[in-house]
Structure 1
Amino acid sequence: MSTPPIRLPSGVRDFLPRAAARRRSLAEKVMAVFEAWGYARIITPYFECADVLERGLGAGGRASAIRFVEPGTGEVVALRPDITPQIARVVATRMQEIPGPIRLCYEGAVTRFAGEAGQREILQAGIELVDAPEPDGDAEVLAVAAAALAHMGLPEIRIDVGHVAPAAFVLGSAPDAASRVLIASALGRKDRAGVRSAARALPEGIAPLAEALATLWGPAQPTLDKAVALPWPEPVMAALEQLRVVLAAFGELAEQPAPSVTIDLGDLRGFDYYTGVRFAAYAGGAPDAVLRGGRYDELLGKYGRAAQATGFAIDLEAVAQAQRSIGVAPPSAVIGVAVHGAGASELARALRATGLRAVVQQRAPEAWGAWLRGAALDAAIVGDQLIGSDDGSRSAKRAIEEARAGDTKALIALLKAP
């Protein structure tokens, strides 16, 4: 019987030092932004009891959850496809006595089943704002999203905002599930003719509203003006006015320069999950949204605490790939050196004390350059020579002697020199 090949499951991957550094740098940057806005970091487990986790998942989330039997207890557990339900559980149980608003942030991996493609592991970072009503809570999370996106190093950032009320009214007027599916599918494609055809099943007066939804996207102010000119029922009109107030409050709260804002009232992604304002962010180099979020006022009640809530998650992997596609360089690591030969330990300690990375290499490799590149180090100190990752060598006798005596400035200058 042959030995199976060494492999990874579908949808997951290893990140070598440069790729890992890019993703860790992104996570650290966005988490620093979240904490600067007053959000406290929380860590939740990679898997939970399936029935508990699934209380907070929409139909799509439940379908994407990967389940297995936990050997110790026999419980059916699930890898988390989303972190927001975990935050809801924590707030409703572990933090039930803490009054709102509660501001929490997180970063970590989620795993989702993706049909024939297998599974997909996604690196996320996000915030959740609990017990913050409309419109102030929505404006705040939009402002935090804009601040985080500003640190991503991507061009052409745009936040696309909507509200579930208009589409909910149209789809709720459909006579049956089949009609709803046809209308939703056409709206998802922005297919005005398809919407017109599918909307024939709607009551008189609502079909034109359905068709209009396929056109209600574009620059924020004119699109919103176009929407409010239509004969919506009072609850939808109130929601559109609420959206106008949210955008005005966002303009006041956001750090400048704020990204451009567009509106799309026909976007149905997350329709069964969000209850009010929803939004997504796009950037140059990324084929799809790099951030999604919105209001989910019904979620915490499923865990025992009725509370309004809103938040978003950034797809760090999508941001990392977008950075690479447009040529954004990975973050510069702290200079790292290998020290070889007599007195290596003492010299390495002196270099670490200055903030450099220093490793004692007891055995010289066959080729210093190839080894340094593989070890993600910049240079090797061998005797009185400084050897670079390109195998180039230069004398650094005086600088090394000064470093051994405790003065590392000259050696650090040499290491930083091209």
Structure 2
Amino acid sequence: MNSTDFNHGLCDFLSRATTPFHAVAAMAATLREAGFESLDETEKGASTQPGGRYYLTRNDSSLIAFTHGTEHAPGDGLHMVGAHTDSPCLMVKPNPERLRQGCFQLGVEVYGGALLNPWFDRDLSLAGRVSYADDAGALATGLVDFRRPLAIIPSLAIHLDREANSNRSVNPQTDILPLLALAKEGEEPALRELLATKLREQGHAVGRVLDYELCFYDVQPPAVVGLKQEFIASARLDNLLSCYVGLQALLAADPAQSSLLVCNDHEEVGSTSAVGAQGPMLRSLLMQLAGNEPAYAHMLDRSVMISADNAHAVHPNYADRHDERHGPHLNAGPVIKHNANQRYATSSETAGLYRLLAEKEDVPVQSFVVRTDMGCGSTIGPLTAAELGVRTLDIGVPTLAMHSVRELAGSEDAFNLWRVLRRFYAYPRASAPRVE
């Protein structure tokens, strides 16, 4: 495989994975096609077999996939990779319909730390999960994705806001309601009826729609761009890029080792949920695989987690926002993320292991440390490390325009990260060398 083939698959995945629900559905389909079995956690005493490959989902928005090594069982230690399925977006409110000046709009809530200005003047569609009562009155769910432009958030003309280029702020309550149609009082569309019709077209026996989790997204497809095709431009690169890289690495993993991929929802809002990295999902599965507390402790002592989440590339127009010695560049290799205050979980031990693996693949490595006079973001790495007590590395592909409606990454970096993670899954020792 080369980077061109890899990026073709990445762009296809990004196009399909318009919400965390659709991302998990796409990953689960790929796993099933590759021979992975769905693991039923509700089965008491459910067990795995050497050479077996398994996956499970929760809330339709988080996923764990793992392999039971033919030579090293999970209890001997796991090579784990973590990522997250969610991205900042505009989510539809429960009672969203608004009719203003003959314009039918939907009220939205900002999910995560979204960069709001780029959402204006984009062709937007709608996707998510819908809960409904079926024809028999039972609760059921279905995924919807309209896959065509339904809405737009028009900018205010500069003639009416002469300071727009120097002093424009966005009020998320009043300024970013998407416009869907023209309508008169009493003739405006009903969102739940639109959803019911869409579900029925997909074969669902919908009695009535009860509730939903919907988000708007930009319909512009992912693209490889640049004079030399140096870049990938797409929505949701943070962090579906890492989900795809981790998935492809797991599919290519050495069957002798026990390997695991976890993709959690809700990272962008703090990860404190039943299916977030600070929730019980991963620990519950690992405890089931270990069988008891002593075996669980032994497993984690011999395990390593690589948390993969995009890193801030140095912006050519704003280079002063980076520490001058730690400004990662596009297509210069994945980035090890460091923070002395534990906003990232990287240690010298886990960073050293990654550098050894990258050397074997001839993949360059970069380092990121935030400017000392600026606040540092975080990711699932520290949360997972704290929840499990497992040695953890925070790594990421350098990215520009993070949390925008359309982000930018280098066209070589995702492929290079895949090469290193594939090597990590084949690493012969789950336990990194200890200092004597």
Q: TM-score, normalised by structure 1?
A: 0.25
Q: Greater strand share, 1 or 2?
A: 2
Name the structure with the higher helix share.
Answer: 1
Q: TM-score, normalised by structure 2?
A: 0.25
Structure possessing the higher radius of gyration over alpha carbons: 1
